[in-house]
Every structure is written in structure tokens, then in C-alpha cells.
Amino acid sequence: MITVIPMLATVRVQFNPIFRNANESRHRYRVMKGSAGSGKSVNVAQDYVLKLSDPKYKDANLLVIRKVDATNRYSTYAELSAAVYRIFGDQWQQCWRIRQNPLELESRVTGGKIIFRGMKDDREREKIKSINFERGKLTWIWCEEATELNERDVDILDDRLRGVLDNPNLYYQITFTFNPVSAMHWIKRRYFDVVHPDIFTHHSTYLDNRFIDEAYHRRMMLRKELDPEGYRVYGLGEWGELGALILTNYVVEEFDTSFERFDRKVYSQDFGFNHANAILDVGFKDGEIFICDEIYVHEKDTGEIIQIAEKKGLDKRIVMYCDSAEPDRIKTWRKAGFNARAVKKEPGSVQAQIDYLKRHKIHIHPCCVNTLKEIQQWKWKYDDRLGVYLDEPVEFMDDAMAALRYAVEGVRRGPAISFK
């Protein structure tokens, strides 16, 4: 796709053809469900950046919504900023301003802004009602991970899109992007089970994404084998029911991650290559668990991951609990100066770790985007023959969860920090 930008010459943009109708839709409700890796969020970000860079959409503004506002920084804000850099390259500053405090993107072409908000409580909902722009009106709303929202949230947002638009090219629209977890969800009833001229629905899967790598395809095939129901939802983007979630006792919120505020601090690592290699920075305070930060990479060798850890500033004095199945890797980490230790694996240890996690409130910092994705779908295995859930986790997309289990070994068994 070639787009003419007045302040530049032309920009060339790569789109997946499957999203063409969605990008051209002017329906009030643009509802886009799809599997993980389908590219729907990348597409929406790119679509909005291009429209707000086009003079014909002068006076348009975009509000981006996540249930928890803090998660915008590491998801929607990052995605939209990346779209600006990708589309305009070295010339992006001629067309856009990108601010971090507060989170905001502003088009130098149209004057339109992109702002970010959350709706986790009544205070945040009230703030939505008072949003105004110096130039133009609120015309577009993007609800990312829309299944996190309730109907009341969407009613409040819908009420904000009203009034006469002087520019004939503008239109009001709410875009929803999400993985369709439950067939009982209100989004299905409200937008998919009815036919209405204001509603446009769209379905996509990772199989439609021409930019997906082969390693991701292999991981999804493994999920299809190990977790058919999870594959239907996260692989094929179909309505399903991710029952028997293992952990629900967590909150996502900003908090002080400095060492001094915790009673204990540990690192933990689940080794991987084709699947993720996950390292968590975990603190303990007053009987509660705080996941402060993560390293989550694919297809990196141990030396590369050590470099990432060192660049990130991991404290080499702090104990790092590691998967005991990889003694050579543990030795490599120790040679690099890290206090890496093997987790003792005994019969029933996985269940004991999970039991400990279930008994303590877990706080997840919004920067831990992959940990959050995993915990939201980590569940017990289901026996189709018996029709019951088994007392063991599905062993797929559980790398951060394995690291989280290792992290509690210190508090379960004894001291969790060492300065040797």
C-alpha cells in the first residue's frame, strides 16, 4: 500500500489483505476477534497512524482504552509508537510528536491526538466523561483486550461519541480487539449474535498473518496437540471456554520495584530456546508476591541471554532459581557471576508450588506483558475420556509460570536471598 503524506513524499506500508475490509469500515462498531498472533492489534495501530497522518481526517482524535491504564504503556502505546517508526522511519519527527509523560501521540499533519486511559474503577470511568481536545473532537476509540471490559464501560465510551462532525470525511467508531475466550461473554451476545447496520465483525487467525515466523507455527502446532481447547481459542480465534484457570488471585498495577521495599528478592529462570526462556524478578512483602520485571526471549543462546540480563542490570548477588534439568546452563550463569541455583524437584513439588501461589496475593507490574498473557490462560489439563480436569497444568506457554513456581522455592523452603 502506498500513501501520500503532504509533509513527505510517499510512504510504503505493508498490510495483511485480510484486514482490508476492516480498515475501510465506517461502521460505528468495528469488532475484531482473532487468535494470538493474527496481527489484528498491529494492523489497528498502523491503520490509526495512517489515518491521523492524512489531512482528510483533520479534527479526528483517538482514545485508546485498556481495563488497567498502566498496561497501555507496554502494549497499545508501544504498538502505536512502533507503527510511527515503522511507517516513517528516520523522518517520523516531521510527522509526529511522541510523549511519554503523559502518554500521548500527536500528528503534526492533522493536529489529531492519541491519548490513553483505563476503566478499572468509577474514578477512572468519570474521567472518561470529561475528555476534550484542543483541536477537533473525539471520533475514534480503540478498546484493546476488550474482553476485560464490561458492558457498562462500553456504554460510557459509546456516549462520548456524539455531536455533528463538520468534516464530511469523519465518522464515529469504536474498535474492539480481543481473543474470544468465552462463548458466554457479553461481546458475543451484543455484537456477534445480532445483525445490525452499525456493526462490522471480523475474524482472523495466526494462519492469516503472512509475517508470522515458522517457529511460531511450530509452537501453535504443539499447543494444538497438548491443549486442543486452548488452541481453538488462541490458535483459531474461536469462541470457547478456558475453564479451570489455575491462578486468579492476581492484580495488575504499578508499584515501586526497588530492592529496599521488599522483605526478600529473587530471580527465577525457566530455560528455553524454541519455547520462551523466561526470567522473572520477584519480590516478597508482608506475605504477598510481586512480579517486578521479566526477560522473555525466544531462540537466544545462553550467552546472549546473559548479556541481556547484564544490560538490564540484574544484581548478581541475588539468588536465581533455575530449572534443574539444565545443569550446564546453570554452570554458565555461575561462571558469568550470577548466583544461579538449581531448584530441587521432588514428587509433588509442582503442586506444592502452585498451592503456595494460590494462597498468596500476586501483584504483576504492567511491564511484565508476557507473564500476564501466560497467567491469563494457565489452566489444568482436561481429560476428555473422563470429562474432568486433572491435577496437573497444561504444559504449553507456561515458561513464565514455571519461573514463577521456581521463585517461591526460597520462601517455601528457607532463605530467598544470598549475598555471597
> Could you report the per-residue pLDDT of 349-375, keeping only the tens digit for each?
888 899 899 989 999 999 999 999 899
With a cut of 90, say whether residue 227 has pLDDT above it.
Answer: no
Checking if the pLDDT of 202 tops 60, the result is yes
- What pLDDT score was predicted for residue 352? 87
Could you give the 3-state DSSP secondary structure of residue 192? Answer: helix
Give CA separation, 321 vs 24, 126, 146, in Å: 50, 44, 36
Starting at the edge strand found earlier in the chain, the sheet holding 264-270 runs 250-252, 362-364, 288-297, 277-285, 264-270, 319-322, 339-342
- In 3-state terms, what secondary structure has residue 347? coil
Please state the pTM of the whole predicted model. 0.77
Q: Give the residue among 365, 364, 321, 317 at the shortest CA–CA distance from 340.
A: 321
**Which three cell numbers, joined as nine digits, stand for 129?**
466523561
DSSP one-letter code for 388: E
Burial 105-134 (b: 16+ CB within 10 A, else e): bbbebbbbbbbbbbbbeeebbeebeeeebe
Examine the pLDDT at 2 and tell me if it is beyond 50.
Answer: no
Q: How far apart are CA 106 and CA 336, in angstroms?
A: 44
Amino acid at 41: S
pLDDT for the residue 316: 96
For the chain, which domains are there? 2-208 (3.40.50.300), 250-413 (3.30.420.280)
Give the pLDDT mean for 21-38: 96
338: exposed, middle or buried (Cβ count in 10 Å: 0-12, 13-18, 19+)? buried
Cα–Cα distance for residue pair 230/379, rounded to 1 Å? 9
Q: How far apart are CA 382 and CA 394, in angstroms?
A: 8
Mean confidence (pLDDT) of the chain: 90
At 241 the pLDDT is 66
- Cell numbers 522455592 correspond to what residue? 409
Asked if the model's pLDDT at residue 6 lies above 60, the reply is no
Task: Categorize the per-residue pLDDT at 417 as very low, low, confident or very high, splitting at 50, 70 and 90.
Answer: very low
Q: How far apart are CA 374 and CA 396, in angstroms?
A: 9
Q: What is the pLDDT of residue 113?
A: 98
101 or 242: which leads in pLDDT? 101
Q: In terms of DSSP bridges, do strands 2-4 and 10-12 run parallel, antiparallel, or are they unpaired?
A: antiparallel
pLDDT of residue 3: 54
